[in-house]
Amino acid sequence: MSELALRPARVALVGNPNTGKTALFNALTGSRQKVANYAGVTVERKEGHVTTASGRSLSVLDLPGTYSLRARSPDEAVTRDAVLGRLAGEAEPDVVVAVADATNLRLVLRLILELKAVGRPMVLALNMYDIAQRQGLRIDLDGLRRELGCPIVTTVATRKRGVDDLVAQVEALAAAGEIGGHANAWREPTAPEIRAAHREAQRILRAYVRPPERPDTLTGKIDAVLLHPVAGLAILLGLLFVMFQGVFTWGKWVGDQMGDGFTALGAFIAAHLPPGLLASFLTDGVISGVGSVLVFLPQILVLFFFIILLEDFGYMARAAFLMDRIMGGAGLHGRAFIPLLSSFACAIPGIMSTRVIDNKRDRLTTILVAPLMTCSARIPVYTLIIGAFIPDRTYWGFMSLQGLVMFGLYAAGIVSALGVSFVIRRVFWRGAVEPFLMELPSYKLPSAANVARNVLLRGQIFVSRAGRIIFPIMIVVWVLANVPGPPPGATEPAINFSVAGRLGHLLEPLLAPIGFNWQMTVALIPGFAAREVAVAALGTVYAVSDAGGNPGALATQLAHHWSLATGLSFLAWYVFAPQCASTLGVVKRETNSWRWPIIMFLYMAGLAYLTSFATYHLAVALGAG
Amino acid sequence: MIITRKSKAYRTFPPMHDMLAEPADVAVTQLAPTQVAAAGAGLVRLSAARPGDRGVIVEVGAQSHPGGHGVDVDELERRLLEFGFVEGAHIELLHEGAIRRDPIAVRLDDMRVALRRRDAEDIWIQLDAR
């Protein structure tokens, strides 16, 4: 009995992007998968388990898609290192499953030739075999098997066809493990070697694959519309509009119900516990802390539903194509489009999805500007201040002044994000943006089960990762705002006596030039936990009870205490200010260094101060002081 | 109106890319349209091709803008090769973007690929006779 028979066999799925590799992974492992990170890098590690018919256990790794083992992005480096067994804490795979789109074999044949040089036992899974058959594409499976020297299985991952056969082949290879492999002969190929490999792939293709009798013409027809310079952009804008409607109506409605639920839960606990630090800790610290994260979950799920649906359909590559030049003008990569789009719901999933960007500088630039996009946590603050200071007037019958200001704030976020990235790429990191080379996959009808699984997975990742960072920060901010407590007989709000209150008073002279009074400065400190917390904090310092549930009363108070110039300055502050500790925490995690969150904090705080200063003094000069 | 004028410019010159292009002018002078014509009828850079142009790739390189791609020229050449831009491949320009006709989408043998004109400057195509 070899050692191999006693432990689960390690199987790695390798293939080009868009070959249905993840669908095959889902078909193999079902719900028995877990997502973590590879040690030391922020690349997602997706592992699942399969038990074979004979009871053998297989542990399957879904590696990031790649065109070559010559890695360009952190994702692709993981694929290379995992296959070569170089990854810290990971042994080399016992069996490699090369996943290929049966209708598009040319590039994957070249990858297979590279994988053969690595020398691990390999199975080739010809996925989407039903589409190949429908197109009348003929593949001489026996010939190809002899030529490549590895077993070939045909699969239709979305219908779970061929999966048992694949498992049986993998198991057979794993059982013969010790004799199946040979020493690794892979090294990075040079340009002439890639050309030679292409010729070899071309020869194999000519010998064993007959071109389709009924090639796919639908993709070309759809592209003629979706990639049209005018119609394509109009459709993209229309899709974005629908997406935003979805996020801000359905997603926000569910989130608001959850928010009410958390408020009710807090009230219930407050009513059944003696007032004091414990009750305050549970209601203001734990429940509102966890609640303020979870209320964003519905919006994030709706957003990811759209993104994953469009991704599986094949549209996201087209969106990147349409946006590349527009983003490129600001020094951003076409692929930065999706992360920035996600940041309208919340910067955290946006920053986490920058992993699709190959180049480190392109990726860091996107991370640095993502928080400037107007996330939904700013909406309560904007609504409060606009309601308090902007008159409810309508022009030309349909243009509401309040709506215009809201639109202006969104536009300011977008323009400043593009402006900052322009400055980063033209001043600090001069030089061209990474080449934009992207496959435009054939359009495919998304599978409902796969979309549902991936949306749930994204939601899980958000809750566990964001939760792990946000929860402790909420606790720290609560402590700052409540310790030490007020002396007996104090009439002022308790927060004035806490560390946060003292810090607020200390910072007041610094923020006075931009028109902030000490109450605002104090409210900014708990507001650092999450932007919308500032609304509740303002309620606390102005001693308006239940400010969150009754913003009208607070707005009246603010309109009474603040000048218009101060109100506008506060709005300008919120466009730029790094008022979200969780985002900084996620940036630290994604970049593995404190350097980038610190840079982000400083540049955003600097921009916020300058804009607020300019806004305040301009408004005062115009007589709004 | 402006767009039509630009499109004519494209027909005769390899694209002059915005501010990113420092050495672009050198490339233009090196291969004036007359020289291209002399090198062989129907030989064009992929970067200068128009939608509907189709043919066979006769040369793949990346030497025109060292330092202009965000990666070195050898790396760009290898990436182009890995995506299937290889001598002998059949290619057809399908679509182009709205701004400065960039990026472009091409059919490359049996797949579709998007890239920027700037990175396609040293891919030469022998156009099919029409």
Q: Which residues of chain A are within 8 Å of residue B87 when distances are taken between CB atoms?
A: 195
Q: Which residues contact A266 (CB under 8 A, 6 or more apart)?
A: A282, A283, A284, A287, A288, A291
- Whole-number pLDDT of residue A551: 59
| A147 and A252 within one domain | no
A501: closest CA of chain B, how far (Å): 49
Q: Which residues of chain A are within 8 Å of residue B80 when distances are taken between CB atoms?
A: 437
- Whole-number pLDDT of residue A274: 82
Q: What secondary structure, in 3-state letters, does A80-102 show?
A: HHHHHCCCCCCCCCCEEEEEEEC
Q: If 0-12 CB within 10 Å is exposed, 13-18 middle and 19+ buried, where does residue A489 land?
A: exposed
Q: Which residues of chain A are within 8 Å of residue B67 when distances are taken between CB atoms?
A: 431-432
| A572 and A424 within one domain | no
| A118 and A253 within one domain | no
Q: According to DSSP H, which parts of A427-524 are helical?
A: 448-461, 467-482, 499-511, 518-524
Q: Which residues of chain A are within 8 Å of residue B58 when distances are taken between CB atoms?
A: none
| A278 and A351 within one domain | yes
Residue A156 pairs in a beta bridge with A161
Q: What is the dihedral of CA A79, A83, A87, A91, to 10 degrees?
A: 140
Distance, CA of A552 to CA of A562 (rounded, Å) = 15
- Whole-number pLDDT of residue A528: 80
Q: If 0-12 CB within 10 Å is exposed, 13-18 middle and 19+ buried, where does residue B34 land?
A: exposed
CB nearest to A432's CB, from B69, B110, B115: B69
A vs B: CB pairs below 8 A: 129
B111/A104 Cβ within 8 A: yes
Query: What Å distances lie between residue A244 and A151, A344, A526, CA to CA?
Result: 47, 9, 29
Category of B38 on φ-ψ map: left (φ > 0), alpha (ψ -120 to 50) or beta: alpha
Sheet holding A44-51, edge to edge: A33-37, A44-51, A57-62, A9-15, A95-101, A122-127, A152-154
Distance, CA of A501 to CA of A524 (rounded, Å) = 10
- Whole-number pLDDT of residue A266: 82
Report helix, strand or coil for A184.
coil
What is the chain B residue with the closest CA to A329?
B18
> Quick check: B70 and A434 in contact, CB under 8 A?
yes
Assess if residue A329 is contained within a domain: yes
Low-confidence ranges of chain A (pLDDT < 50): 1-4, 545-547
Query: What Å distances lie between residue A424 and A334, A337, A431, A488, CA to CA?
Result: 16, 17, 11, 53
Give the CA angle between residues A375, A380, A382 to the nearest 5°: 80
End of a domain among A157, A187, A216? A216
Residues A567-584 pLDDT 10s: 999 999 999 998 888 889
What is the per-residue DSSP string for A510-569?
A: HHGGGT--HHHHHHHTGGGT-TTHHHHHHHHHTT-TTTTT-HHHHHHHHHHHS-HHHHHH
Residue with token string 């108070």: A557
Q: Which helix H or strand E contains B105, and what residues bound it? A: strand B104-108
Domain count, chain A: 3
**How many secondary structure helices (H) and strands (E) does chain B include?**
4, 6
CB nearest to A104's CB, from B69, B110, B116: B110
> Quick check: A15 and A98 in contact, CB under 8 A?
yes
Centroid of chain to Cα A359: 17
> Quick check: A599 and A368 in contact, CB under 8 A?
yes
Phi–psi pair at A274, nearest 5 degrees: -60, 140
Distance, CA of A574 to CA of A464 (rounded, Å) = 27
> Quick check: A71 and A80 in contact, CB under 8 A?
yes
Query: What percent helix, strand, coil does chain A show, rounded to 5?
Result: 65, 10, 30
Report helix, strand or coil for B10.
helix
Q: What is the DSSP letter of A247?
A: I
Distance, CA of A416 to CA of A343 (rounded, Å) = 14
Report helix, strand or coil for B45.
strand
A509: closest CA of chain B, how far (Å): 44
- Whole-number pLDDT of residue B18: 38
Q: Which residues of chain B are within 8 Å of residue A192 when distances are taken between CB atoms?
A: none
* CATH level 3 topology of B2-127: SH3 type barrels. (2.30.30)
Report the DSSP pairing between strands A209-210 and A394-395.
unpaired
Q: Which helix H or strand E contains A143, and what residues bound it? A: helix A141-148
Category of A593 on φ-ψ map: left (φ > 0), alpha (ψ -120 to 50) or beta: beta
Q: Return the structure tokens found at A377.
A: 């946590």
Assess if residue A456 is contained within a domain: no
What is the chain A residue with the closest CA to B18?
A329
A326/B112 Cβ within 8 A: no
Q: What secondary structure, in 3-state letters, does A388-405 show?
A: HHCCCCEECCCEEHHHHH
A220/B96 Cβ within 8 A: no
| A299 and A423 within one domain | yes
End of a domain among A431, A458, A492? A431
Judged against a pLDDT cut of 50, whether residue B6 lies above it is answered with no
- Whole-number pLDDT of residue A147: 94
What is the chain A residue with the closest CA to B75?
A191
| A493 and A345 within one domain | no
B58: closest CA of chain A, how far (Å): 13
Distance, CA of A162 to CA of A27 (rounded, Å) = 10
More confident residue, B14 or A295: A295
Distance, CA of A193 to CA of A624 (rounded, Å) = 71
| A396 and A269 within one domain | yes
Residue with token string 């019958």: A397
CB nearest to A438's CB, from B65, B76, B114: B114
Report helix, strand or coil for B47.
helix
Q: Which residues contact B101 (CB under 8 A, 6 or more apart)?
A: B6, B7, B10, B15, B117
Assess if residue A439 is contained within a domain: no
| A292 and A197 within one domain | no
B37: closest CA of chain A, how far (Å): 27
Assess if residue A237 is contained within a domain: yes
Report the DSSP pairing between strands A95-101 and A57-62.
unpaired
Q: Which residues of chain A are within 8 Å of residue B100 when distances are taken between CB atoms?
A: 325
End of a domain among A157, A191, A216? A216
User: B18 — contact with chain A (CB < 8 Å)?
Assistant: yes
| A261 and A212 within one domain | no
Assess if residue A517 is contained within a domain: yes
Q: According to DSSP H, which parts of A375-447 are helical?
A: 378-389, 401-423
Residue A166: count of CB within 10 angstroms of its CB: 26
- Whole-number pLDDT of residue B44: 94
Q: Which residues of chain A are within 8 Å of residue B112 when distances are taken between CB atoms?
A: 219, 223, 439-442
Residue type, A136: G
Assess if residue A146 is contained within a domain: yes
Centroid of chain to Cα B93: 10
Give the confidence band of B11 by pLDDT, cuts at 50, 70, 90. Answer: very low
Residues B87-97 pLDDT 10s: 999 999 999 99
| A205 and A121 within one domain | yes
Q: Which residues of chain A are within 8 Å of residue B110 when distances are taken between CB atoms?
A: 103-104, 106, 211, 215
Residues B33-78 pLDDT 10s: 444 444 567 899 999 999 999 999 999 988 887 777 777 888 899 9
| A373 and A295 within one domain | yes
Assess if residue A156 is contained within a domain: yes
Assess if residue A453 is contained within a domain: no
- Whole-number pLDDT of residue B28: 38
A191/B77 Cβ within 8 A: yes
Print the domain residue range for A56.
3-216
| A600 and A541 within one domain | yes
Residue type, B17: H
Centroid of chain to Cα A192: 38
Q: Return the structure tokens found at A490.
A: 């104090």
> Quick check: B129 and A357 in contact, CB under 8 A?
no
Best CA proximity match to A364, nearest among A590, A582, A579, A72: A590
- Whole-number pLDDT of residue B90: 95
